[in-house]
Chains A and B, each alone.
Chain A
Amino acid sequence: MLSLDQLLEILAECSGDQQAAAHGEEVLDREFDMLGYDSLVLLETSAQLKHRYDIDIPEDVIRDLRTPRAVLDYANVPAERD
């Protein structure tokens, strides 16, 4: 299971956030655009998810996931079905 905190940590690192601004449940449904995470950050996040957690979200899929919740849903639902 990928947790929200794990995802936010990766996003912050990938974007070079010096202070993690986004945290807590309230960011679950905020769009990445609003959080300042652009497509390059999401591509890097896709690479890091694969590298650290062996979670595979292809680049063309993660581009269309708009919120942290969407990423968590994508990452966690298939694993539960297995």
Chain B
Amino acid sequence: MDAPTPHPTTPRRRVVFAFPGQGAQQPRMAAGLYGVSPSFTATMDHAFDALGPAGRTLRAGWLAAEAPAAFDDISYAQPLLYAVDCALGTMLAEAGLRPDAVLGHSVGELAAATLAGVFTFDCGLRYLSEYIGVYRHAPPGGMLAVAAGPEEVETHLVPDVVIGAVNGPRQVLLSAPEPALSQVETALRRAGVTCSRARALQPFHHPVMRRVAAAHADALTRPPLRPPHTTVLSAYTGHTLDEATATDWRFWTSQPAEPVLFGPTLQRLLSRGRHLLVEAGPGQSLTALARRTPAVANGDAEALALLPARAGSPDDDVKAVRAALEQLAAGPGAPAELSPDF
């Protein structure tokens, strides 16, 4: 990455799109844009068509007034998050905002890489369909958000429990199959450590996923991947993806078994020069993490979410996107033309 080059007259900030992953899903997430933003709608419809009969189920579950019971399961949450993330990224590009860099949390990194041209959208969707087929064989379990740093959490770990994600100095996600997950939750609560179940029904980012993949993933012919045309920050490596890594399928297929180091990656990125982080996904979880970094606290970086923090009425989605774009357009170094496609 380039060294920061302070420019006193035009403080152009690097625009970073950030895409959330498993746990960020909400019933009817971003659905207020469906049928309103042509680019968002076209991207979502493309996904539902490409996924065939599963796509129709997915669409119905997404738009249902009451979310299906399995909404947090891999089969719903992951393809919907991927599609919504990609559709929002595409909508931003249509509005005239191009990212200088992209990053994502968990499946959000797949969306980031898609926006950066590593995967075509179709290729990403095919991979996710296959991925759901493989990881639905994962043992039941999940993830537990803990209000503590990695070192403090280490002392509470029991066998079969790993740190699945480091989100910030005082937020980690533990990952484990049952019954270990419930055991560690009980132990943490007894020790007075605050924790909360993340919305996941499988132990993502846990080494057990390596065995699941070995047992259930066929040796498929995979289409070649392309080098990213936009900088991709990987929360797995903590650094900018180089061409060789980005185009290596093994890097992508190993992700469900590897920890997500989103917090340290974000902090490293924001510590280098001026940045504007735009969260393109449901909720504001990544924006919240960014707002707690020193870079945002001292004004070198700014973080902004496209959608409301909590699911609301369809109108809330539309209003939130309009407000976010207005704020983006008013910022320093904004593109001359920046308007939503609706």
Contacts and interface: CB of A to CB of B under 8 A. Distances in A.
B137 interface: no
A34 B303 CA distance: 9
B103 interface: no
Contact of B292 (A15, A34, A51): A15
A33 to B, nearest CB: 4
B145 interface: yes
A36 B291 CA distance: 5
A2 to B, nearest CB: 19
A18 B296 CA distance: 11
Size band of the B side of the interface?
A: 20 to 34
Contacts of A20: 297
A19 interface: yes
Contacts of B289: 36, 38
A41 interface: yes
Interface string B8-37: 000000000000000000000000000000
A16 B145 CA distance: 14
A47 B192 contact: yes
B149 A36 contact: no
A64 to B, nearest CB: 10
B151 to A, nearest CB: 12
A31 to B, nearest CB: 8
Contacts of B192: 47, 51
Question: What does DSSP make chain B's interface, helix, strand, loop or mixed?
Answer: mixed
Interface in A21-76: 21, 31, 33-41, 43-44, 46-47, 51
B147 A36 contact: no
Given A43-B147, A47-B194, A18 B171 contact: no
A55 to B, nearest CB: 15
A36 B292 contact: yes
B310 to A, nearest CB: 8
B169 A36 contact: no
B147 A19 contact: no
Interface residues of A, number: 23
Given A16-B168, A33-B284, A40 B145 contact: yes
Nearest to A17: B292
A7 interface: no
A16 B196 contact: no
A18 B294 contact: yes
A31 B297 CA distance: 16
Contacts of B149: 16
A38 to B, nearest CB: 4
Nearest to B168: A16
B60 interface: no
A38 B285 contact: yes
Given A14-B147, A41-B147, A47-B194, A33 B288 contact: yes
Given A40-B147, A44-B147, A16 B194 contact: no
Given A16-B169, A17-B297, A39-B196, 6 more contacts: A15-B171, A19-B298, A43-B194, A43-B196, A44-B147, A46-B194
18 contacts: A14-B147, A16-B168, A18-B294, A19-B294, A20-B297, A21-B291, A21-B296, A33-B284, A35-B291, A36-B288, A36-B290, A37-B288, A38-B284, A38-B288, A40-B196, A41-B171, A44-B170, A47-B192
Interface of B: 145, 147, 149, 168-171, 192, 194, 196, 284-285, 287-292, 294, 296-298, 303, 309
Chain A to chain B: the 8 pairs with minimum beta-carbon distance, closest first: A36-B291, A16-B169, A16-B170, A21-B297, A44-B147, A33-B309, A44-B194, A38-B288
